[in-house]
Amino acid sequence: MSDRLPGFSTLAVHAGAQPDPTTGARATPIYQTTSFVFNDADHAASLFGLQAFGNIYTRIGNPTNAVLEERVAALEGGTAALAVASGHAAQVVVLQQLMQPGDEFIAARKLYGGSINQFTHAFKSFGWNVVWADPDDISSFERAVTPRTKAIFIESIANPAGSITDIEAISTVARKAGVPLIVDNTLASPYLIRPIDHGADIVVHSLTKFLGGHGNSLGGIIVDAGTFDWSTGGKYPMLSEPRPEYHGIRLQETFGNFAFAIACRVLGLRDLGPALSPFNAFMILTGIETLPLRMQKQCDNAKAVAEFLAGHPAVASVSYAGLASDKYNQLARKYAPKGAGAVFTFSLKGGYDAGVNLVSKLQLFSHLANVGDTRSLVIHPASTTHSQLDDAAKIKSGAGPDVVRLSIGIEDKEDLIADLEQALGA
Ligand SMILES: *Cc1c(COP(=O)(O)O)cnc(C)c1O
């Protein structure tokens, strides 16, 4: 073996996986079992007391899921990861380790519509308060910091308009405030952006999207950068204080730079329960093997489609950071030089009705609420994913009434453009 560190595409295929030691199986087997036999009573006791690592029960961990966790941790440059049932489950589990009732976290206003709902409504019932900030105005994050702030949450490439967030600038605010920066890296994937390289402390994903990549399996993951010191000021008791669930151990003291991933597993996943099925982990692992190929093709296709739309007379504007004229193009060149992602929006001169009409006329594009599939997808956010918001909030989050969102797949770009041309012209 050479001393060369493996590159991204090599890690996408190999990280975390070994031929199965019992059977020699080369693909990662689906360990479709709920539970694992202990060697003896001492072994069982040491597993339950966190003195030894090993498999107990699939709600807490599973060998198929472990390969997925190791692979995504390697791709993101983190110390450890925890796979869960969905992207939303990842968000709940992360914040449960950080927040006490009455605490606050600051979130960028431009987010996946489901995250806006989760933060605004579901989290309120836990006593977790979201404070919104504007990712285009870094000082709005600074102004939002209070003594009860426990985290800052942003998307690297933000839904729905594909805008690029200045991760380094916001990480400076988080550092000054003494709170971790959480980055939802779903729309970028680590192929385009590795938030940890830019100061993120925790990365979350909906694996459902580009990582799985085929629109067939839900999943989520949490990656621990291993960079945050949880012991200062008693702000994060889940990590710094003795845990009564585990004979009084302190997680940061015991597990060091992967304490956060451990907390998410042994306090979050164990007790809240959103475990990922090993079958879904297998599907997502298979998807990740081709992530670099798919993502590059999807970005290249997206740029061609965005350029076509920008020149079409029925189109009022196109928001794609990969276009030289886009207001996020500078940030795209810095953070995502390989491509500005495959999800973006455009607006139609004919407003809301034209948006609804276009969606109904497209044939190759599937009209549905997802992104990051091999297939090209379309949705009109104002009447679907963002319909819960009032008009002002829709516009602020990039989902105004005339806006259509595309997620570009791996088809031939000429076919995608022809489909849009017939639907716009009709
Ligand atoms: C889909 C999505 C989520 C939620 O993920 P699920 O797997 O659907 O729970 C969170 N963030 C972003 C950016 C998403 O696109």
The pLDDT, as a whole number, for residue 426 is 58
Q: Residue 405: what are its φ and ψ, rounded to 5°?
A: -105, 135
The reported pLDDT for the residue numbered 399 is 82
pLDDT in tens, 243-302: 998 889 999 999 999 999 999 999 999 999 999 999 999 999 999 999 999 999 999 999
Looking at residue 323, what is its pLDDT? 97
Q: Is the CB of 166 under 6 A from ligand 1?
A: no
- Domain ranges for the chain, please list them: 8-287, 291-425
The answer to whether residues 402 and 287 touch, using CB atoms and an 8 Å cutoff, is no
Q: Which of 110, 112, 164, 214 to mutate to test the pocket of ligand 1 (most atoms within 8 A of CB)?
A: 112
Instruction: Say which amino acid occupies 191.
Output: Y
Per-residue model confidence (pLDDT) at position 208: 98
Q: Say how far apart CA 426 and CA 63 lie, in whole Å.
A: 52
Measured by CA distance, the residue closest to atom 8 of ligand 1 is 87
Q: Is the CB of 87 under 6 A from ligand 1?
A: yes
86 lines ligand 1 (CB under 6 A): yes
Q: Which residues of the chain have pLDDT under 70?
A: 1, 426
pTM for this predicted structure: 0.96
- CB-CB contact of 212 with 291 (8 Å): no
Does residue 298 line the site of ligand 1, with CB under 6 A? no
CATH class of the structural domain 8-287: alpha beta
Backbone angles phi, psi at 57, to 5 degrees: -155, 140
Distances (CA, A) of 380 to 163, 214, 368: 17, 21, 9
Q: What pLDDT is attached to residue 383? A: 83
Report the DSSP pairing between strands 377-379 and 366-367: parallel
Distance CA 146, CA 233 (A): 15
Architecture in CATH of 291-425: Alpha-Beta Complex (3.90)
Angle between helices 413-425 and 291-310 (to 10 degrees): 30
Q: What is the pLDDT of residue 161?
A: 84
Cβ atoms of 106 and 145 closer than 8 Å: yes
